[in-house]
Amino acid sequence: MCIAPFVFVTGCTTVNENLFGHEYENVLPFAEQTVKSIGGDKLDFQAREFAYLRVLYDQDASPISELSEQLQLADSFRSGIVRYSVELLRIAEMNMSEEEQVREYADTFETMRQSGHDRLQVSQEQFDTAIAGIRAQTTLLGALRTAQPVIDQAGENFDDFVRQIADVSLVAAVNYLDTAIEDHFEIFMNYNRIMVVRRDEILAGLTLLRDYRLGDSSALDRLRDANIILNKEIEIPASPTEAQLKTIEDYLLAETRRDRELVSYMADDVTAYLQAHAEVEREEAEILAGLSVARLQVVAWTRAHQAMAQGVKDPGNWLDLALQAAEKTKRILAF
C-alpha cells in the first residue's frame, strides 16, 4: 500500500529543546521521512500476478499460504512503523507539558506490546521494562531513549524474519510451484524431449544418406546400426538401387513433416510450460527485491529513531539515504 508523502502545518514546534539546552527530539523530519520512505510497494504473492501459472496456483497450499502470511506480516510491521511515527508527531505537537507528552507516549508504547510480541518476538519483559522506564521520564527525549532498546530489538528481529522469508519460505513456495508445473506438463514435455531426440536422429539419417551418395560406402552401415529407420518394412541393402535410396529418403522426410506437425500441435503447451516457469522466476526476483528494500528501510528507520533519541537535529537523513538505496535496488533489479 502506498502512503503519499505529507506536510504537517502547525503552530507549535516539534523541535523541543530539553533541559540540557542543546538536545532535541526532532520529530517532524523523522515522521515526514518515515512516511515518504516506508510503506511503498506491498510484498505480495497472489494468483492475479500470473497469466500462465494461474491455473496451477493454489493459494491454500501450505507453502503458498505460509509465504503469503509472512509477507503480510512484514508489510504489517512496516505499516506499524508509519503509524507509530505519525502518532509520535501528534504527541510532540500536542499543546501540553512534557510530562503529559511522556504519559501519552507511554500509552502509545503500551498499545504496541502485543503486536510487537506476536509479530517480532520482542518479549513481554522487554516491553514491561521499557514502559516502566518511559513512565519514569520527565522529557520526551528521555522517553525516546528509554524506548530505543525495544526499537532496536524489533528491528533486529524484523531483519531475521525477512531473511527467513527469503531463505526458507520463498524457496519452499518456488519449489512447490516448479514441481506443480513439472507434474502438470510432464506428458507434454516428455514427448517433446522425445521429439527433439527423434529430430536429431532423422537429420543424422539424411546426412548419412547424403554421405553414401557422395561416395562413403560405410555410411549405410552406420545408418543401419543407428536404428533410425523405424519402419520394419523398409530395408537397407548393402548395394541399394536409386529407387530404394529414394524410398529411404522419402520415409525420413515424411518423418520430419510428421514431427513438425506434432511440434506445431504442442507449441501452445510448450509455451505455457516455459512461461509458467518464467513467471515463477520473475515473481521470486520481485519478492527478493522487495524484501531487500524492506530490510534497508527498517534498518535505516531504527538508526533514524536512534539519532532522534540522541538529539540529532536532522535524523531524517538516515531515511533519505534508505529511500535512495531502495530506489537504486529497484532499478538494478528492474523491479
pLDDT in tens, 102-159: 999 999 988 887 776 667 778 888 888 999 999 999 999 999 999 999 999 999 999 9
Range of the domain at 44: 15-170+300-332
Q: Residue 12 has what pLDDT?
A: 35
Using the structure block, give the residue that is written with the C-alpha cell 514491561.
Answer: 128
The pLDDT mean for the chain works out to 82
Q: Residue 67 has what pLDDT?
A: 94
135: which 3 cell numbers? 513512565
Q: Is residue 206 part of a domain?
A: no
pLDDT in tens, 206-250: 999 999 999 998 999 999 999 899 888 898 888 899 999 999 999
Q: Is residue 122 part of a domain?
A: yes
Q: Is residue 267 part of a domain?
A: no
Q: Give the C-alpha separation, 282 to 30, whole Å.
A: 34
- Domains of the chain: total: 1
Q: Give the C-alpha separation, 33 to 16, whole Å.
A: 19
pLDDT over 50 (residue 192): yes
Q: Give, for 15, the enclosing helix (H) or strand (E).
A: strand 15-17
Q: Is residue 59 part of a domain?
A: yes
Q: Which amino acid is it at 13?
A: T
Q: Residue 330 has what pLDDT?
A: 56
Q: Residue 39 has what pLDDT?
A: 58
Q: Is residue 113 part of a domain?
A: yes
* 263-269 average pLDDT score: 82
Q: Is residue 290 part of a domain?
A: no
Q: Is residue 245 part of a domain?
A: no
